[in-house]
Amino acid sequence: MITFHNPLQHTHAPEHEFFRGERVPCFENPTRAAYVEAALTARGHVLHPPDVDCTEVLAKIHAPRYLAFLASAWQQWLSLGEGQDRVQPFPSVWPVRTLRSDIEPDNFIAKLGLYSMDNGSPLAAGTWTAAKAGADAAASAAARLAAGERAAFCSTRPPGHHAGPDFMGGYCFLNNAAVAAQWLRDHGAARVAVLDVDYHHGNGTQSIFYDRADVLFVSIHGDPRTEYPFYLGHAGETGAGLGAGCNLNLPLPAGTDAATWFAALEQACARIAAFGADALVVSLGLDTYEGDPISRFRLATTDFLRLGARLRGVGLPTVLVLEGGYAAAALGTNAVNVLEGFEQA
Ligand code: OKS
Ligand code: ZN
C-alpha cells in the first residue's frame, strides 16, 4: 500500500507534559514516528512526502481564529520576552461553563486556554510546521484514493483525533483524519465513514462531524467514565440535527481483551456497511496494544494483522492515519502488521 510520512514531524518536540501531578518526558515524541518509519522501510515500503496542500480543507473543519492562533502561537509566546524559547507554554485557565469563549482575550496564556481542552498538548517551536505537514500528508493519502489506489497509509505525528473545530487537546492540533475525510468528500465521495480504533475516544473528529449526515463517525475506545478524554465518547451520543444517527460510540471497559474488542469491531463494520460509504478513513491508534504505557486494552502484536485483514474486508477505498500508541519500540511492528494484514487478506 502506498505510504506517506511527515518529513517535518521531528520539529514538534516538546520536552514535558503533565502526568499524575508530575512533569514527565512527553509520551508523544519524535521517536514514535521514527520507529514506524524504520519498520515500514525494513519491510520494503517507500515513504512518500506529502504532495497536497490541505489549506482549503483545513478551513472547512477548523475555525479561522483557531488556525490563525495555532500558526502564530510560538511567535506570540516568544514575543512575551527573553528566554521564552527555553520554556514551554501551558494553559492555566479555561472558559468553562458560564464563561465567554466568543471574545478572544489579548493575553497569550488566556488565548491558549480558549483554544485548548486540556494542558496535555504542549506547544514547541515547530508545532504548526509539523502539524500542517502532517495534515498535508493525510490529504495526500486521501488524494491517492481518488487516483484509484485501494488503500493508503499516513505515518504522522502529532496525532489529530482529539483536535476539535476550534481547540487542541490530547497531543493533537490539526485533525488529520477529518482532513482526509473532508478531502474525500470534496473530491467525489458522497459519503465517508471514519472508524476510530485508537484506545481513546476521538472527541475532536466526533464533534467536527456530529451534525453532518455525509460523514459517519464510529469509535471503539476505553469507557470515558474512567478513560481520557472523559467528557465525550458515551454510547448515547448518536449525532444531532442532519447528523442524527451518524455517530456510533462503542465504549469498552479498561482491561478489555482481544476477543471482546474484535466483537466490537464487527459491530462497527456492520454500521459502516449499512451507511453505504464510498470511502473509509481509519484513525489508526495503536495504543490498544497490551504493552502501551498509558492505555488498558489487551491486543497483542499479532492481533494487528487480524485488524488489517478485517479493515480490508470492509471493501472500501481506505485511508489509514496514525494516531496514538506509546510503546514506541513496538509501534513500528504493530503498524506494519496492520498494513500487511490488510494487503494479505
Ligand atoms: C495526560 C495524558 C492524557 C492522555 C492523552 C491521550 C492521547 C492519545 N496528560 N489519544 O489517542 O493517545
Ligand atoms: Zn490514544
pLDDT in tens, 254-283: 999 999 999 999 999 999 999 999 999 999
Residue 231: band (very low, low, confident or very high) from pLDDT cuts 50, 70, 90: very high
Whole-Å CA distances, 267 to 212, 220, 230, 251, 258 = 21, 10, 23, 12, 14
Could you give the percent of the chain with pLDDT greater than 70? 100
Beta strands in the chain (DSSP E): 2-5, 16-19, 22-25, 47-48, 151-155, 192-196, 215-222, 247-252, 279-284, 318-322
- Annotated active-site residue 162? The verdict is yes
At which residue does the C-alpha cell 480543507 appear?
Answer: 57
Alpha helices in 202-278 (DSSP H): 203-209, 258-275
Q: 251 CB under 6 A from ligand 1? A: no
Spacing, Cα 205 to ligand 2 middle (Å): 13
Give dist(CA 216, CA 31) in Å, integer. Answer: 32
Residue 82 pLDDT exceeds 90: no
Q: Is the Cβ–Cβ distance between 292 and 327 less than 8 Å?
A: yes
Q: Is the Cβ–Cβ distance between 205 and 194 less than 8 Å?
A: yes
Q: What is the pLDDT of residue 323?
A: 99
**C-alpha angle 200/202/204, rounded to 5°?**
140
ipTM of the complex: 0.97
Residue 315 pLDDT exceeds 90: yes
- Ligand 1 atom nearest residue 17's Cα: 9
Catalytic: which of 12, 62, 161, 162?
A: 162
> For 320-327, what is the mean pLDDT?
98
Residue 170 corresponds to which cell in the numbers above?
490530547
Q: Nearest Cα to 296, choosing from 260, 320, 271?
A: 260
Q: What is the pLDDT of residue 268?
A: 99
Q: Strand pairing of 47-48 and 2-5?
A: parallel
> For 96-111, what is the mean pLDDT?
98
pLDDT in tens, 50-65: 999 999 999 999 999 9
Q: What is the pLDDT of residue 318?
A: 98
Q: Atom 9 (ligand 1): residue with closest C-alpha?
A: 120
> For 80-97, what is the mean pLDDT?
94
Residue 170 pLDDT exceeds 90: yes
Residue 267, phi then psi, degrees to nearest 5: -60, -45
Q: Could you confirm whether domain 2-344 is CATH 3.40.800.20?
A: yes
